[in-house]
Structure 1
């Protein structure tokens, strides 16, 4: 951008942007971590840099000379230097760096274009590694669970959907606004408190599917993928249930906890399919891609088996996970009128004691 604005021909590889500070009485190159894309070089003429030196001259060489040298009275300047001269200057200054180990911060007012200086002396006083925020999305489930207890935001979303989903037509089939989904996901990932009553239910169900889809290693464990699909080829329903339970025993405990809650919600929705138009098959079609799809398993035959397996789990979840899953969310009282659904009591303390 600078080369073009100043009318300088040549490759950008031949030049480097430097910062000169009167306070530091030195200059140093921008190495990349400053990320200076926001610096508007069109502001340069307003400093008087060109006007004081050129007064009517428009030649490329004169522009370059004025830009590179500049008047000494300017406090802070951005300087475009040919890389060969920049390297020479860097070598000369290298011997001085060891004598200046003080890390200083410059106020926003003292830096041109609102930039904050970064020192080059951090090696002598290395900082401790930054503490990473514990991410809710995209991590192994056991990493975001506390003693096999699901994270509160996930329990809240499951509880909310279990409460209102049975009488919401197209739940898990209809998607929420992409913008609203991103906003909710960002708040949950940052640990912000969210009042779900202020969020559309389709946004909540979409974000829950997003969480499910991004569980690292898959909720069903990618290493067991083929074995899960083999369940549907077992003889009768009793054989399928036993095969499923054997595989559940191989999953991390946190994964089983989540599956119990999830299928309790799906069963509750399926029980009211006359109101929400979401049968066990319809639910499996909509939620299977978030649970049991691998990038290398996109054949239509595999997808059909995946859907059949999830449908089987929904229809037989009481035998597979235990009849007590109907009480995971506490006592629920619902009415056939979607607008008249009583509040439910979250019974999340049962998770760890299952």
Structure 2
């Protein structure tokens, strides 16, 4: 009876046991207290050699778009420090912002996706960033909001000068004037600047019908402001940044703004006013569009590849039974779909001996036909050496079709933080494990087999010429992409490079991440299909009871 009870328990909780026991040793960030926050090295580094005072430390979730990050906030009299907890009393600096350059608001729906409790959250921002700060209680939120507003107000009163010339370009507003230079104070919001610009351009219109966009060389992507930001602070942040590179000190603040025109800051930071796009009529309840409303301020950060956008366009079409569906809807009883497991097992054994696997492409028509067949419910795969590139192409197509990617695009920024140059290798491995634990169990299961597959292929790189670097370049873009709209080729290339580095690291440390010998997931080392064998005599077990349940994995 005890054995049956144990097996029953394991059957019910197999996914969580596999994922949790094998991949977790983490502590949640919220456990880290603030009893010694004033004595931690990060706080002391900001107090040393300055006349500022430390005011408050707290933990919050910062939400931008679909991304959520656990962060610790340290408020001083003149600066807000944002850090990531590495241990109970050790924090890594992520951002530091002058209080005089900050703003607050309550427009959570414009900044982040999903539901956010307004009782426990507010919007805070600084040049080029807006985020919703979510606290553990309404009392904590009120305390932070009141103190932050107080520090912003006092620092703006101390700031000199309080007015600067702001150049605004008019675009698409039916006027002969190309630019206007406006006197803008450090307390003028974006909406107030638009109102002033409309007067200067001699346009009769509603402020809500126009947007003020910012083009910053620092961010390399134009984005529209919501309305509560301070354009003064955005431009002055560029002035201070330029002066700091030139060795200017804090006492030169008054001279910095006076030299805005001489320094030609407008070439680094430009403001463009143009009509707000007309919103299309909402579709009926039975025909909702796939595209979700996007936060305005996150325009610059919603970056995705063109291939990803092509997939989104396909999402509104009728879905088949395999491609373009969430993994949770195609996995039955915690088992990956049979065609997916068959493809991975075949590629593990035969692909390991094939030069250029995942790099060389099969015919687009053949890939499309096999994909359509599988999507229609077919389970017969041409598992022969002649079709290895076709199977590889269809498998990559399956990965690309997973909604929000295998790694989940809302976790993109946190995945990118895993390979921190300051972290030790073992700590990076632990960070990977913690991130895998945050994935849906079906995504984590597919990732385990995929890592084992790639590890097996690179182990035979002398035959297939596919090193960890080559594999990561070929398959990483199908595993993770940033959420949102396309970006410039340069930025997209840089984002892809970072994802490739992450996947390369995971392949190289596969055994540490999985906690077992990767080859055990496929029954041993890769074995090549002999010439006499065809798909009907494929010698390796593909989809049997060992894949139908996770119980055998526990054994």
TM interval, short-chain normalised: 0.5 to 0.7
Against the structure 1 CA distance between its residues 242 and 191, is the aligned structure 2 distance closer, same or farther, given a 3 Å change threshold? same
Deviations 1:120-166 (A, max 9, x none): xxxxxxxxxxxx87520001111110122100000000011011001
Residue segments in structure 1 that go unaligned for 5+ positions in a row: 1-131
What is the distance in 2 between the residues matched to 1:138 and 1:224?
19
Q: Which residue of 1 aligns with 2:546?
A: 349
Within the candidate set 480, 488, 493, 1:300 is matched to: 493
Write the distance in 2 (CA, Å) between the matches of 1:170 and 1:231: 29
State the Cα distance separating 1:326 from its structure 2 match.
1.6
Q: Which of residues 513, 520, 527 in structure 2 aligns to 1:320?
A: 513
Shift of 1:343: 2.4
How many positions carry a matched residue from both structures?
Answer: 222
Contact kept? 1:155, 1:348, Cα under 8 Å: no
- 1:267 and 2:465 equivalent? no
In the alignment, does 2:479 pair up with 1:291? yes
Task: State the secondary structure of the residue aligned to 2:466.
Answer: coil
Deviation at 1:192, TM superposition (A): 1.3
**Cα deviation, residue 300, structure 1:** 3.0
Does the aligned pair in 2 maintain the 1:164–1:338 contact within 8 Å? Answer: no
Q: In 2, distance between residues paired with 1:212 and 1:169?
A: 21
Distance change >3 Å, CA 296–CA 224, structure 1 → 2 = farther
SS at match of 2:334: coil
**Cα displacement string for residues 93-125 of structure 1 (whole angstroms, at most 9, x for unaligned residues):** xxxxxxxxxxxxxxxxxxxxxxxxxxxxxxxxx
> Per the alignment, do residues 182 and 252 of structure 1 end up closer, same or farther by CA in structure 2, a change over 3 Å counting?
same
| Structure-1 separation of matches of 2:532 and 2:504 | 29
Report the aligned-residue RMSD.
2.3
For the residues of structure 1 that align with 2:406 and 2:441, how far apart are their CA atoms? 11
Aligned residue number for residue 153 of structure 1: 339
The question of 1:138 aligning with 2:324 is answered yes
> Does structure 1 retain, via aligned residues, the 8 Å contact 2:472–2:500?
yes
- Which residue of the other structure, out of 258, 261, 271, is the alignment partner of 2:446? 258
Match for residue 280 of structure 1 among 468, 491, 494? 468
Specify whether residues 167 and 212 from structure 1 end up closer, same or farther in structure 2 by C-alpha distance, changes over 3 A only. same
Aligned equivalent of 1:219: 406
Q: Relative to structure 2, which stretch is displaced further, 173-182 or 192-201?
A: 192-201
Give the whole-Å Cα distance in 1 for the aligned partners of 2:418 and 2:532: 40
Return 248-257 or 234-243, whichever deviates more. 234-243
Q: CA separation in 2, counterparts of 1:159 and 1:168?
A: 14
CA distance in 1, matches of 2:463, 2:494: 31
The answer to whether the 8 A contact 2:348-2:526 is kept is no
Q: TM-score normalized by structure 1?
A: 0.58
Q: Does the residue aligned with 2:443 lie in a helix, a strand or coil? A: helix
CA contact 1:329–1:348 (8 Å) conserved in 2: no
User: TM-score scaled by structure 2?
Assistant: 0.38
The CA distance in 1 between the partners of 2:325 and 2:372, in whole Å, is: 15
Which residue number in structure 2 is paired with residue 242 of structure 1? Answer: 430
Instruction: Note the C-alpha offset of 1:331.
Output: 3.6
1:338 Cα deviation after fit: 7.1
Find the residue that maps to 1:323 and give its secondary structure. coil
Judge conservation of contact 1:231–1:243 (CA < 8 Å) in 2: yes
Q: In terms of Rg, which structure is larger?
A: 1
Q: 1:202 aligns with which of 367, 389, 392?
A: 389
Quick check: which one's strand share is greater?
A: 2
Match of 2:502 in 1: 309
Deviation at 1:296, TM superposition (A): 4.3
- CA pair 189-220 structure 1, distance change in 2 beyond 3 A: same
* 1:197 CA drift (Å): 2.5
**Residues 1:135 and 1:333: Cα distance change in structure 2 (over 3 Å):** closer
Return the alpha-carbon distance in structure 2 between the equivalents of residues 201 and 302 of structure 1. 30
How far off is 1:348 after superposition? 6.0
- Which structure has more helix as a fraction of its residues? 1
Distance 1:205 1:333 in 2: 16
Quick one: distance in 1 between partners of 2:426 and 2:352? 28
Distance 2:532 2:513 in 1: 32
- Is the 8 Å Cα contact of residues 339 and 381 (structure 2) preserved in structure 1? no
